[in-house]
Homo-oligomer: A and B are copies of this chain.
Amino acid sequence: MSRYINVAIGQLGPVNREDSRPLVINRMMKMMREAKALAADIIIYPELALTTFFPRWYMEKEEEIDQWFEKDMPGKETNPLFSLAKELKIGFYLGYAEKEIKNGVAHYYNSAVLVDKNADIIGKYRKVHLPGHSEHEPWRRFQHLEKRYFEPGDRFPVWSAFNGVMGMALCNDRRWPETYRVMGLQGAEMIFIGYNTPVHNAPAPQHDDLSLFHNTLSLQAGAYHNGCWVVGVAKAGCEEGIEQIGGSCIVAPSGEVVAACITKGDEVVVAHCDLDFCQIYKRTTFNFDLHRQPHAYKEITQYKGETLNADGSLRS
């Protein structure tokens, strides 16, 4: 038995600070047409796809911050992307900065939407694992202020869509095994993950040469350990002087990379993915019902950080 979804990576090259949304959306529409010509059912764009990666700058003024956020999705500028998707009958995943007014209070999230072939938004995900810091740290070559500009999301839902069970995550989420497991426990068969990852990590620069390895390792482990497909899509290349890793790829439930980008620019790569292939793992090695032992995992939800000091004594 086979149940296919043809997935396109829609890797973006750099988006500069002065680039307008229509300029970027034109690039994305070009890639959407290319994906459709390659028989794709869905195209996956990166995290914060519509603008440059703005958390690398410290900003204080609300109007300066607000310019990077979408108040509506779709909005005036993103509408053409939705219209084209509807015309072409292709779905998409889009990462963007979301501003929501709720009970008169503004909330800011690092979000992604899952859009079906009728251009209807069928799912929204808000990034749970915000990396970086919240205050200006001038010693860094560039900032990573996600904890300043966004509130964290609080769950990892899955959606029945595209003939299977789909999940979403964003960037740093992919380094946390909990991300995949929470969705795996809900039967996720494919997880889409857009990201922006600089080669240089200011707090641990001694491992800049491993950034790409850590990306692939995390995507592969998440896929294998949950018997699901994982699609990682980068905003890549040198953006505003900062090198980003690229490395977009599609990982099978076996942990094998089955498709990968080879540039740091706008690039479309498609894979023909059998969702039934998940069962080889979900029914055997990773049959959760047979093999998981949640009574031994209580620390995972009970504690946020380390429970012991280095000398073995229990933290107060």
The interface of chain A, by Cβ under 8 A from chain B, is 128-131, 152-156, 158-160, 164-165, 172, 175-178, 181-182, 184-187, 189, 201, 203-204, 206-207, 210, 213-214, 217-218, 220-221, 224-225, 254-256, 280-312
Q: Bound state CA distance, A121 and B10, in angstroms? A: 55
Q: Bound state CA distance, A206 and B178, in angstroms? A: 28
A110 → chain B, closest Cβ, in Å?
13
Question: Chain B residues with Cβ under 8 A from A312's Cβ?
Answer: 158-160, 165, 187
Question: Chain B residues with Cβ under 8 A from A280's Cβ?
Answer: 204, 206-207
Q: Bound state CA distance, A156 and B294, in angstroms? A: 12
Q: Is the CB of A294 within 8 A of B304?
A: yes
Contact among B184, B186, B293, B304 with A152 in the assembled complex (CB-CB below 8 Å): B293
Q: Bound state CA distance, A255 and B175, in angstroms? A: 12
In the A-B complex, the 6 residue pairs with the closest CB atoms:
A289-B305, A160-B312, A177-B177, A221-B221, A288-B305, A203-B284
Q: Bound state CA distance, A299 and B152, in angstroms? A: 18
Q: Bound state CA distance, A310 and B158, in angstroms? A: 11
Q: Which residue of B lies closest to A206 (CB)?
A: B280
Q: Is the CB of A308 within 8 A of B176?
A: no
A196 → chain B, closest Cβ, in Å?
15
Q: Is the CB of A158 within 8 A of B308?
A: yes
Most chain B beta carbons < 10 A, residue from A160, A284, A291: A291
Q: Bound state CA distance, A7 and B131, in angstroms? A: 33
Contact among B155, B165, B256, B297 with A301 in the assembled complex (CB-CB below 8 Å): B297
Question: Chain B residues with Cβ under 8 A from A182's Cβ?
Answer: 296-297, 299-300
Q: Is the CB of A291 within 8 A of B131?
A: yes
Q: Bound state CA distance, A215 and B9, in angstroms? A: 28
Question: Chain B residues with Cβ under 8 A from A284's Cβ?
Answer: 201, 203-204
Cross-chain pairs A/B with CB under 8 angstroms, 21 sampled: A129-B292, A131-B291, A160-B310, A160-B312, A165-B312, A175-B225, A176-B291, A178-B296, A182-B296, A182-B299, A185-B300, A187-B307, A187-B310, A204-B280, A204-B281, A204-B285, A210-B256, A214-B224, A214-B255, A221-B225, A292-B305
